[in-house]
Chain A
Amino acid sequence: MKANTYLTFKLGQELFAVNVDNVLEVLERQLITPVPDAPKNLLGIINFRGEILPVLNTHLKFNLTVEDNEELERLLIVFEIGQDENKYSVAATADAVKDVIEVANEQIKPVPENGISYDSKYLTGITNYNNQFVMLLNTIKAFSF
């Protein structure tokens, strides 16, 4: 039985999960420098260990409505995606980080084709954890530009 470890986090009302292999760090109250004229779903840039990283507005990218956009106590998850020369890092917004969970491959169910209010192309599947549905993210698709 093959299983992977995932980090779950909240975005709006939904619970999402990403493979922990792709997660570098979770940052709190990081100073974000906005970049004028940047694409809409980029909030700006941050200084992460001396490197400049783009900050992705995950809510906007996944087409999730945010009630309080102004003073959102933002949490950033820093992802490392890709291999070798194509490796890059990106920070993405999240509302809360929940758990680290183990999900076996057969526990993953396919994404229903319609009826989902946000962009389902970034998902690899759905699983049930503690009676809650968790959306498993395809990190490469979800966090590439």
Chain B
Amino acid sequence: MNQLKLKFIDEAESLLTSLDNVLIELEKTDDLQNINEAFRVMHTIKGASGMFGFDKIVEITHELESIYDLLRQKTLQLNPSIIDITFTAADHIRALLIDEAFSNENNIKRHKLLKESIDVVKGIKTPESKKTEPKTTSTPNEIKVSNKPTTGNIDKKATWNILFYPNEELIKRCVNMAYTFHDLFALGEYKISSKPFNNSEGEFWSIFLVTDQPFEEIENALMFVMDYCKISKVADFDIFNPTELEKRDEQLNNITQHIEAFDTTDMQNNAPNNANDSGKELIHLINKTNNQQPVQMTPKATTRINVEASKLDTLMYLVSELVTTKSELLIALKKHDEEKSIDAAEKIEKLSKLFSDNALSIRMVSLHEMLNKFKRLIRDLAKQLGKQIEFEIIGEDTELDKNIIDAIGEPIMHLIRNCIDHGIEIPEKRIAKGKPETGTIKFEAQKTGNYVYITISDDGNGINTEYVYNKAVDKGFIQPGTNLTEKEIMDLIFLPGFSTAESLSNVSGRGIGMDIVLKRIHDIRGEIIVSSTKNIGTAFTLKLQQTVSIISTLLVTSGKTTYAIPIEDIEACNIELDENTTNTQSKLIRYNNELLPFYILKGYTMHAEDSSCSQKLIIINKQSKRYAIIADTIIGEYQAVIKPLGKAFSEVKHLSGASLLGDGSIALLLDTDNVWFKTSNN
């Protein structure tokens, strides 16, 4: 059952992310469809959390649901404090998903405050009169949740009992637990056991449903899980305390009348404002609790991938092909049939290429999910800093290897933080500069060849090159009076320990700096290009490989050591090294009427250097740095599966990994960026 629960937590988290986005939309326009969507999310989370014993989440979602129900019925007007409360509640639910035992003090505090502020928003009562709050009766093992306000015709109601037996098979079928019962709960009122019961047939949940709908409707709602359910009619009436319901009905009516009364009386401006003010106070309180122990919002590495079914079909097809070919090979070998053996071996070679392509395509993930998390972050930061920001996204369907997506999340978040904190000006300044009040942060992703380019740009201040230059002089990074181009000055911000923020703000001047951003991107063999124009804006462009695990390399040897050089960095190779090309005095190498610095690959040799064989030149061109590598022999192209060398070799900067070769030996992968610093003229 633990697996089902993990699945629920996963689903709840993605539901909350979608809620964040709905709220961001709602903040812009009061749209009924979005209110319905928020209501639906609350409702879905409520139902499923009940099943897994998250009582506190049920409480909160239940309260929120009633707010959105009032909004739906237009008896309550949407206002910013409702959205703020919902945001806080979403974070609170996130915290509760981790803190299942409800033992964290901050969570307990936040829970109480949140409930109070929801009450204020509902306008039922002010916090002072909370003692009279009627408690919803709940027996220890059951939670009372009611869905729709009852609309007449109680006579026709019947009570049904549904026993739900989920099992391993259900998990395999990837049935979405949260949605499974959504349709069922929409039929009427329900009671659900908060913990699964146990009997000889395994674990099961018991659900009581009070509805005026016929049996067919229940059947339809449970269409996908019918096999796991036992349904029986309990009674022809509502067996659950109808007086309780009436009380609630009355309450709802009271609220409506209450609000209507405000609308019609002269106190119109007075009283609701009061309620609003105390609501705001409470939100401040909540924010305070939040600040003490903020709910974790760092983009977490996703552990599950959604895969297109067709890719899995291909995989299955490949597996069956492989199995057949393997038998072919075995039979051929037993018969000593050389021709057939070679045929089969060739087929296996082809298949393994298809396998690797297929595996890589399965690992490809779109940027969608990562971006959804950014939307919320930008909204929160903009609000905190008093800035107005529009987040524009282009190309969110672009796919990247999951490893890369996980690796770029934090650096990109940092770049966006920088844009909000240092780039975009506050509205007054923007107006003074003649720019639109709202700043724009643009996220653009596009695939070109084997690369994916991601550009994060803002229309803010731009980088103040003069300021950066002076700062670099102050910090001793450069000598005063050094001649640097605009681009070179901008690159200074990537130096370790360079932080241009005048005061450490708690937005971007904390934790990782631009040097870490650069390092993280380099780690996945990517590049960053920065461009900026004063008062127009700044743009950071990331050039990323679609996948990191397999790269095309050229294998070369030096002594007994085999090296792999990324093919994309090679301009030319297989040039003989002779007296004409070497220029011992200048320590440069002649290549096509040019002089280039060089690096001699170090080889491990058992015996003295064998200088008789002619050495080869490989010309490297990486990010407009050009140099030559001198090796003994060139073996050829190799599709290298890259493995890390580990922290034992962290000091060996000119190597970035290793790859296993067919014969079990190991090739060392050259880091073409860092070899540059080891060339003859450095």
A31–B664 CB distance below 8 A? yes
**Restricting to B627-660, which residues have a CB under 8 Å from any CB of A?**
643-652, 654-655, 658, 660
A36-B604 CB under 8 A given contacts A47-B666, A50-B660: yes
Whether a CB of chain A sits under 8 angstroms from the CB of B561 is yes
- Which of these, B560, B602, B645, B654, contacts A52 with CB under 8 Å? B645
Whether a CB of chain B sits under 8 angstroms from the CB of A110 is no
Majority-rule SS of A interface residues: strand
Q: From residue A34, how far is it (CB to closest CB) to chain B in Å?
A: 4
Q: From residue B533, how far is it (CB to closest CB) to chain A in Å?
A: 42
Q: From residue A81, how far is it (CB to closest CB) to chain B in Å?
A: 12
Count of chain B residues with Cβ under 8 Å from any Cβ of A? 23
Per-residue contact bits, chain B 326-359, to A (CB 8 Å; 1 contact, 0 not): 0000000000000000000000000000000000
B561–A34 CB distance below 8 A? yes
Q: List 25 A-B contacts (CB under 8 A).
A: A33-B658, A33-B666, A34-B561, A36-B561, A36-B602, A36-B603, A37-B602, A37-B652, A38-B649, A39-B649, A39-B651, A42-B649, A45-B658, A45-B666, A46-B666, A47-B666, A51-B643, A52-B643, A52-B644, A52-B660, A54-B645, A54-B646, A54-B648, A88-B646, A88-B647
Known A37-B652, A45-B658, A54-B648; further 8 A-B contacts with Cβ < 8 A? A33-B561, A35-B649, A35-B668, A39-B648, A51-B643, A52-B643, A52-B644, A145-B648
**Restricting to B594-609, which residues have a CB under 8 Å from any CB of A?**
602-604
Residues of B within 8 A of A90 (CB): 648
A42-B664 CB under 8 A given contacts A36-B603, A37-B654, A52-B643: no
Whether a CB of chain A sits under 8 angstroms from the CB of B138 is no
Alpha-carbon separation in the docked complex, A35 to B649 (Å): 9
Alpha-carbon separation in the docked complex, A32 to B651 (Å): 19
Alpha-carbon separation in the docked complex, A81 to B6 (Å): 30
- Which of these, A35, A51, A145, contacts B655 with CB under 8 Å? A35
Whether a CB of chain A sits under 8 angstroms from the CB of B665 is yes
Q: Count A/B pairs, Cβ under 8 Å.
A: 60
Per-residue contact bits, chain B 563-605, to A (CB 8 Å; 1 contact, 0 not): 0000000000000000000000000000000000000001110
Q: From residue B682, how far is it (CB to closest CB) to chain A in Å?
A: 15
Per-residue contact bits, chain A 72-100, to B (CB 8 Å; 1 contact, 0 not): 00000000000000001010000000000
Alpha-carbon separation in the docked complex, A35 to B559 (Å): 12
Alpha-carbon separation in the docked complex, A141 to B645 (Å): 20
B660–A47 CB distance below 8 A? yes
Residues of A within 8 A of B658 (CB): 33, 45, 52
A47–B664 CB distance below 8 A? yes
Residues of A within 8 A of B649 (CB): 35, 38-39, 42, 45, 54
Alpha-carbon separation in the docked complex, A46 to B664 (Å): 9
Alpha-carbon separation in the docked complex, A38 to B655 (Å): 10
Per-residue contact bits, chain A 9-35, to B (CB 8 Å; 1 contact, 0 not): 000000000000000000000010111
Residues of A within 8 A of B560 (CB): 34
Q: From residue B359, how far is it (CB to closest CB) to chain A in Å?
A: 15
